[in-house]
Amino acid sequence: MKIVVIGGTGLIGAKLVTTLGEQGHEMVAAAPDTGVDTLTGDGLADALVGGSVVIDVSNSPSFEDSAVMRFFETSTRNLLAAETAAGVAHHVALSVVGTDRLPGSGYFRAKVAQEQLIEKASIPYSIVHATQFFEFVGSIADAATVGGTVRMAPVWFQPIAGDDVAQAVARVATGSPLHGHVEVAGPERFRMDDFFTDALAARHDPRAVVTDPRARYFGAELSEGALVPGRDVILAETRYRDWPGRTVAGR
């Protein structure tokens, strides 16, 4: 089966190309650096010829509100139109747990817009909602840094390893379309402020973590369960303490 991975050279995309290729599928890593640009549409038609499944794990190069909305709306429209013309049978998208619970964030508003376009299209689809990746610990801390301290709300947090996300997306992509959503998350739930206190210490990051119930997460205030999944979640196996990248030094 030919599977096209949009964002196929990125963190999750590259893992998908390798994993599904090892299973015997014909893989296409579609990204601007391979000549496929969903924002302009360049290269899309050629990349999708003969494709059965398209997996979209692309991300906006900018998180500024208008830029990220433009990226997800324009890219998704271009991609769905090209898929319709090519006769693609299954559209799979990677999104984030809690997208509809964080309207204060421009990024999450854009992800909601992306999902709505997918749901309204005629192509059978599956949307995988994942929690935050272990690999993003540093960038989340950077975004929460104010005056040299990392301000974190004491809400629930259930991160997941990128390898486990890729495995979950691969399983969904090679199955029948869900015509809906599925949630995947790490096996452990932490208080966000406690998690980052320990995580930054393990990375030899000197910044102090300050507990702040009003701390914002990419522009949005967090409620108790905004970032964690519901009861029907698929739990991954990798624990943060066992993840090889846990002790990476520096910011």
Mean pLDDT of the chain: 96
CATH-assigned architecture of domain 2-133+159-187+226-238: 3-Layer(aba) Sandwich (3.40)
pLDDT category, 248, cuts 50, 70, 90? confident
Span 175-193, average pLDDT: 98
What amino acid occupies position 103? P
Share of the chain above pLDDT 70, in %: 99
Q: What angle is formed at CA 111 by the lines to CA 234 and CA 41, rounded to 5 degrees?
A: 115
pLDDT tens for 9-50 read: 999 999 999 999 999 999 999 999 999 999 999 999 999 999
Query: Where are the domains positioned within the chain?
Result: 2-133+159-187+226-238
Share of the chain above pLDDT 90, in %: 97
pLDDT tens for 160-183 read: 999 999 999 999 999 999 999 999
SS3 labels along the chain: CEEEEECCCCHHHHHHHHHHHHCCCEEEEECHHHCCCCCCCCCHHHHHCCCCEEEECCCCCCCCHHHHHHHHHHHHHHHHHHHHHHCCCEEEEEEECCHHHCCCCHHHHHHHHHHHHHHHCCCCEEEEEECCEHHHHHHHHHHCEECCEEEECCCEECCECHHHHHHHHHHHHCCCCCCEEEEEECCCCEEHHHHHHHHHHHCCCCCEEEECCCCEECCEECCCCCCCCCCCCEECCCCHHHCHHHHCCCC
pLDDT tens for 103-127 read: 999 999 999 999 999 999 999 999 9
Judge whether residue 250 has pLDDT over 60.
no
pLDDT of residue 251: 41
pLDDT tens for 65-84 read: 999 999 999 999 999 999 99
Instruction: Name which of 247, 234, 242 is nearest 185 in CA terms.
Output: 234
Judge whether residue 136 has pLDDT over 80.
yes
pLDDT category, 224, cuts 50, 70, 90? very high
Span 229-233, average pLDDT: 95
